[in-house]
């Protein structure tokens, strides 16, 4: 019998200051699944729930235990109003 897959979710969050209570999710959470092949998850600002503020962080939530995630973050920005 196989064990059920462990659900780990990656949240991208933003806040105007470093206060924990001000961080809110920018886009829907991405599910992380163990795999030998890399998976690509795109989070576009056009689908953002709130505008990105000064601070941006990620948070991984899952079951207790030892686990890790490796990922690459690519950011492209344009100067507004130019």
> Model pTM?
0.63
**CA nearest to 10, candidates 24, 26, 28, 30:** 30
The pLDDT assigned to 62 comes to 80
8 A C-beta contact, residue 8 and residue 34: no
- Summarised one tens digit per residue, pLDDT across range 21-66 is 999 988 888 777 776 666 666 666 667 778 888 888 888 888 776 6
Could you tell me the residue ranges of all domains in the chain? Answer: 1-82
């Amino acid at each position: 019998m196989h064990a059920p897959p462990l659900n780990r979710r990656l949240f991208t969050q933003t806040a105007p200051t470093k206060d924990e209570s001000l961080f809110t999710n920018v886009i829907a959470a991405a599910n992380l699944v163990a795999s030998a092949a890399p998976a690509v998850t795109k989070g576009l600002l056009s689908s953002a729930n709130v505008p990105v503020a000064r601070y941006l962080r990620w948070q991984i939530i899952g079951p207790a235990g030892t686990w890790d995630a490796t990922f690459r973050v690519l950011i492209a920005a344009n100067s507004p109003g130019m």
